[in-house]
Amino acid sequence: MVNLTIVGRVRDGLALAQGPRYINQANDNFSFYKQQAEFILKEISRGALAPSKMTIRVDHKSFHYLMENGICFITLSDSSYPRKLAFHYLQDLQKEFQKFDSDLVDKITRPYSFVKFGKVTLIIALQLMILDSPLKLQKEYWTSPEPESSIWGSPLLEDIALKWTPITIIIVGFAVLFWANLALKEDFII
């Protein structure tokens, strides 16, 4: 689940909007994570974090950010939350943000004063929560294609390892037992 969302301008590191809070209001960690998100935004504006898409882990949480057209979208989630869902959420935010006038965004001078977009983040977050529910979750967000046999590398090697190796061990075991039975008999001469 998405715990915190911040939208900021890259050129000056100004936080434009904040999404709804899902961490308990009484929790002191909320202010810590909000400060961390603002710090990440400042580092992006300084050019210290170059990739346009990245995940940063802090404690048992993950910050995911996406930069597009001079705007940075940052979200905080549990580390166990799928990255694909988090970036899907950020891409939805980015698409909605493009609908706003860029001149309006450039005129903003105070932090968190773009209240209109805060409401949009709430709507998208609620849609994501509905999508994230166990009954509605689409499988494509949770799973990624994996090779058929990640341990053995090919289906033939897996077949050999899982079927023929136990058979070979059983045959060799019987041969050793038979040989030991013959060797323990007194009339057996080599």
Secondary structure (DSSP) of 135-188: TT--HHHH-----S-TTTSSHHHHHIIIIIHHHHHHHHHHHHHHHHHHHHSTT-
Give dist(CA 100, CA 6) in Å, integer.
16
- Asked if residue 83 and residue 23 are part of one domain, the reply reads yes
Rg (CA), the chain: 28
- Asked if residue 28 and residue 81 are part of one domain, the reply reads yes
- Asked if residue 65 and residue 7 are part of one domain, the reply reads yes
What sections of the chain are H helices per DSSP?
29-46, 83-97, 102-107, 115-132, 139-142, 155-159, 165-184
Indicate the pTM of the whole model.
0.62
- Asked if residue 15 and residue 88 are part of one domain, the reply reads yes
- Asked if residue 41 and residue 85 are part of one domain, the reply reads yes
Give dist(CA 181, CA 57) in Å, integer.
62
Give dist(CA 1, CA 61) in Å, integer.
11
What CATH number does residue 93 fall under? Answer: 3.30.450.50
Can you give the residue range of the structural domain that contains 63? 2-142
pLDDT tens digit at each of 190 positions of the chain: 778 888 888 888 888 877 766 544 445 577 888 888 888 888 888 888 777 888 988 888 899 999 888 888 898 888 888 888 888 888 888 888 888 777 777 778 787 766 666 667 766 766 666 565 554 444 444 444 444 445 656 777 777 777 778 888 889 988 888 888 877 776 656 5
- Asked if residue 105 and residue 29 are part of one domain, the reply reads yes
- Asked if residue 52 and residue 21 are part of one domain, the reply reads yes
